[in-house]
């Protein structure tokens, strides 16, 4: 992961989302949009850049283009991959409203175009009727996604249950039989070490539940995974 400040280039590129209205900020009246343009800046960030740090001080980060992965880090530095966000999402809104530190870290998984909105302007937007409801919806959706991620970690009694739940969740979200994630990515999503993941995967390959295809995994027996999780 790379620090935001070392990878961001301040500029004012053309942003197509104003026409498409992909996020609440894009939906503001023209007069408010002019204020946003005057008080914010847009920059491009490379893959691996950390975004949205200290929103309670810096303000909101709007993801205009690209995709980010949200992480929760433990006290020993271990990372747990909660979920991913696509263009049109807003980072750090709950921290801006409450003044509390944002517990997550966003990592760009593709080249991104982001807009930084200072805290004073962000609070101004919360009083704008055309924006407030959309911002509240974003907070709610982010909270639900975080709850689902934590449930995957907390409700499972073993690494096998965690991995089974994770693969079933990926299938529910549209994943096909082949799971194209690296060992470290999948381990972070499950909340276990890569070494533990390897042991579980090797066991399931022997049992015919999974099949290795290079760095990818093919699920051969979804019913076995559902039985391991207990379809609870």
pLDDT in tens, the chain (232 residues): 554 443 444 444 445 555 555 688 887 888 888 888 888 888 899 998 988 877 878 888 989 889 998 887 766 666 777 788 888 888 888 888 888 888 888 889 999 999 988 988 888 888 888 788 888 888 888 888 777 777 767 777 788 988 898 888 888 777 777 888 888 888 888 888 889 999 999 999 999 999 988 888 989 999 999 898 765 4
Pair (78, 177) in one structural domain: no
Pair (26, 123) in one structural domain: yes
Quote helix, strand, coil % in the chain, to nearest 5.
Answer: 45, 25, 30
CB distance 44 to 112 below 8 Å = yes
CA–chain centroid gap for 66, Å, is 11
Pair (186, 122) in one structural domain: no
- For residues 171 and 165, what is the distance between their CA atoms, to the nearest angstrom? 10
Give me the phi and psi of 107, to 5 degrees please. Answer: -120, 125
Pair (14, 92) in one structural domain: yes
Domain-ending residue, one of 120, 137, 154: 154
Give me the phi and psi of 40, to 5 degrees please. Answer: -125, 170
- For residues 88 and 223, what is the distance between their CA atoms, to the nearest angstrom? 36
CB distance 229 to 160 below 8 Å = no
The residue range of the domain holding 221 is: 159-229
Name the 3-class secondary structure at 81.
strand
Query: How many domains is the chain built from?
Result: 2
CATH number of the domain enclosing 209: 1.10.10.10
pLDDT of res. 7: 42
Taking the whole predicted model, whether its pTM rises above 0.75 is answered as no
Pair (69, 125) in one structural domain: yes
**Residue 15: which of 85, 116, 144 has the closest Cα?**
116
pLDDT of res. 6: 39
pLDDT of res. 112: 92
Pair (87, 15) in one structural domain: yes
Strands in 15-158 per DSSP E: 41-45, 50-51, 60-65, 67-73, 79-86, 90-91, 104-108, 112-117
Domain-ending residue, one of 107, 132, 154: 154
**Residue 196: which of 186, 206, 208, 205 has the closest Cα?**
186
Q: Which two tokens stand for residue 35?
A: 């204020």
Pair (179, 69) in one structural domain: no
């Amino acid at each position: 992961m790379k620090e935001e400040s070392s990878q961001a280039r301040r500029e004012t590129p053309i942003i197509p989302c104003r026409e498409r209205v992909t996020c609440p900020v894009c939906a503001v009246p023209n007069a408010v949009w002019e204020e946003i343009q005057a008080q914010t800046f847009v920059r491009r960030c490379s893959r691996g850049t950390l975004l949205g740090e200290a929103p309670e001080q810096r303000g909101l980060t709007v993801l205009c283009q690209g995709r980010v992965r949200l992480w929760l880090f433990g006290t020993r530095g271990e990372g747990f991959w909660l979920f991913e966000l696509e263009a049109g999402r807003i980072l750090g809104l709950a921290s801006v409203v409450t003044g509390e530190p944002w517990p997550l870290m966003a990592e760009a998984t593709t080249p991104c175009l982001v807009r930084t909105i200072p805290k004073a302007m962000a609070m101004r937007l919360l009083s704008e009727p055309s924006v407030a409801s959309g911002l509240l919806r974003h907070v709610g959706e982010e909270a639900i996604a975080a709850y689902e991620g934590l449930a995957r970690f907390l409700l499972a009694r073993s690494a096998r249950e965690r991995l089974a739940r994770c693969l079933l969740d990926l299938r529910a979200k549209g994943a096909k039989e082949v799971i194209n994630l690296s060992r470290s990515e999948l381990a972070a999503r499950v909340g276990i070490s890569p070494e533990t993941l390897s042991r579980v995967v090797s066991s399931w390959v022997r049992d015919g539940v999974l099949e290795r295809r290079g760095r990818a995994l093919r699920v051969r027996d979804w019913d076995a995974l559902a039985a391991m999780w207990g379809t609870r």
